[in-house]
Amino acid sequence: MIKVVIVDDEPKLRQGLQTLIPWESLGFTVVAAASNGKEALKAIEEKTPEVVIADIRMPVMDGLQLIQHLRSARQPLHCIILSGYADFEYAKQAIKYGVAGYLLKPVNISEMSASLKLVRERIEEERLRGGTGQPEGINRELYLHSLLVPQEKTEDPSKLRGRIEKMDLLWGSYEVIVIFPRVSDADLPETLNQLSAGLKQAIEERNMGAVTIISPYVILLLNAPLRGPQRREHLYGGIRNIAGDIRFIAATGGAVAGPEHICSSYLKAREAAKLAFFSGKDRLLEPEPACIPSPESPRQPDASYEGTLEDLIFRLYYSLEAGNKAMVLPLLNEAAALFFKSGQDEKSVKQSFFFLSNAIIHKLAAASRIDLKETETVSRFLNGIYQHDYLSDLLGETHRFLLEFAEDSGPKGKEQEIKKMIDFIYRHYAEDLRLSTLAGLLSYSTPYLGQLFKNKTGEYFNTYLDKVRIQKAKELLAQGMKVYEVAELVGYTSVNYFFSKFKKYEGRSPSDYKNP
């Protein structure tokens, strides 16, 4: 990548240039930003850029003084000048110094991109001729980056191969590996350099390929494909030994036959690295990661997502209440598949697991199964959701945490299970209780459980539930509550339906019962 320093006394413009210009796709990287010429000189000395983009008018040292200083020091830098309309005559002086471009403010993105393309072509030509006086290794690095990052203009294949051969990069095949260190932004530059230095010894000195950095990755360009799991495991082990205590993700983009396809392998490797959260641990990731768990259909938004999530929360909570510990992990896997299928990325999946877990915890608290005010365990668990690097670890920790609150199922047997169902009805009559849900939690078919319930209680499940609801409704009506309020509190979404059920079992309407 060609290194750039931006110099402007307007913070918004500096930030805008760094974020709005597609630097990487154009073959550039911004290594520093300064608010005046004096700060820029220090940054240029430290970062050794090849391009400076500077405003004409700045305090302390303006753009023209900066360019004069650079030219007197014989620094081979390409300068692009930014100027307001009122400064045009002033800017003419800078143009005399051979600046690479002159743009009016506010900066137009397409015009800036066009100027950068011209500068890049000029730098490439100079480096091929050795005109910049920079070491040959830097020329090779530049062309390596140009191969990795897709260019808008496709170069003639024969011309491309000629350049690649001159850079000693013309091989029979290529495979790109990206390595992403899991460190803070502040530690990233030093970590990348550390990993790069170690990998250069392991890769380049053994003639296995080339090593470079395109932040936030260290990139390996291998000259032979990694065929078979043994070679992939061997390479991953070597990276791990060099990384030491540094946590990292490594992904391959697969082997390609020609240099014109290197960028394709690079893009696939980056995509695989971005999906590392959904993949297996401690291995070299491949372009299509093994999702945990693997959804049956492609990732896409689902209009019924919210309803499905609520149903999962419902079933998970009832599994804990019923003491069916074996159902918890399958339901968590079902939730993970739902999140992945709906197109969620790592951050969104963690947010969804936070929401799901928090909803279950509040249900447990409402049932007096957990005291939110007295435990720090809950806070540690919820905050820890965002710290997991892999979905498999998040699933395991969530499973372990929830099992701590699973109701002890006690003695087994049909009598015990019917007692649990009755107790369940009395505790959750106001919710959307369904026999099919309880059948799933107790590992019975719905018809069998329904018949078993009737044999033990003398009532069908829905009839028993209705009678419990009507009994609770009578208690609330006796307290003077309004009919529509009571209907909602005992689990009926329709007031008319509540009227019909009440009259069926009591022989009169709720209004008549309330006002005898």
Query: Which pLDDT tens digit goes with each residue over 55-100?
Result: 888 888 888 788 877 876 667 788 888 877 555 556 556 556 667 7
Q: Which CATH architecture has domain 414-514?
A: Orthogonal Bundle (1.10)
pLDDT at 62: 81
CB count within 10 Å of CB 408 equals 6
pLDDT at 312: 86
Q: Which helix (H) or strand (E) holds 220?
A: strand 217-222
- Kindly report the average pLDDT of the chain as a whole number: 81
pLDDT at 307: 74
pLDDT per residue as tens digits for the range 447-498 = 888 888 887 788 888 998 999 899 889 888 888 888 899 999 998 888 899 9
pLDDT per residue as tens digits for the range 240-282 = 999 999 999 999 999 998 888 898 999 999 999 988 998 888 8
Q: Which residue has the higher pLDDT, 97 or 224?
A: 224
Q: Does domain 138-278 have CATH number 3.30.70.270?
A: yes
CB count within 10 Å of CB 326 equals 11
Q: Which among 64-73, 206-215, 405-414 has the top mean pLDDT?
A: 206-215
pLDDT at 187: 82
Q: Which CATH architecture has domain 2-129?
A: 3-Layer(aba) Sandwich (3.40)
pLDDT band, very low/low/confident/very high, at 4 (cuts 50, 70, 90): very high
User: CA dist 332 to 121, 277, 336, 398, 497, Å?
Assistant: 53, 16, 6, 8, 35
Least confident of 288-297, 370-379, 474-483: 288-297
CB count within 10 Å of CB 280 equals 15
**pLDDT above 90 for 152:** no
Find where tokens 């050795």 sit: 130
Least confident of 315-319, 411-415, 423-427, 433-437: 411-415
pLDDT, average across residues 382-403:
91
d(CA 331, CA 314): 10
pLDDT at 318: 78
User: CA dist 473 to 211, 255, 430, 498, Å?
Assistant: 74, 69, 10, 10
Backbone angles phi, psi at 103, to 5 degrees: -125, 140
Find the radius of gyration of the CA atoms of the chain: 33
**pLDDT above 80 for 128:** no
Would the CA dihedral through 13, 17, 18, 19 be positive or negative? positive
d(CA 219, CA 137): 16
Q: Give residues with Cβ within 8 angstroms of 318, minimum separation 6.
A: 424, 428, 437, 438, 441
pLDDT at 73: 65
User: 385 and 357 in contact (C-beta within 8 Å)?
Assistant: yes
Q: Give residues with Cβ within 8 angstroms of 266, minimum separation 6.
A: 148, 149, 176, 178, 219, 253
Amino acid at residue number 246: I
pLDDT, average across residues 329-355:
90
**pLDDT above 50 for 299:** no
Backbone angles phi, psi at 135, to 5 degrees: -60, 155
d(CA 258, CA 157): 10
pLDDT band, very low/low/confident/very high, at 398 (cuts 50, 70, 90): very high
Find where tokens 């069926």 sit: 504
pLDDT, average across residues 412-416:
58
Q: Residue ranges of the alpha helices (H) in 204-344?
A: 229-243, 262-274, 305-322, 328-341
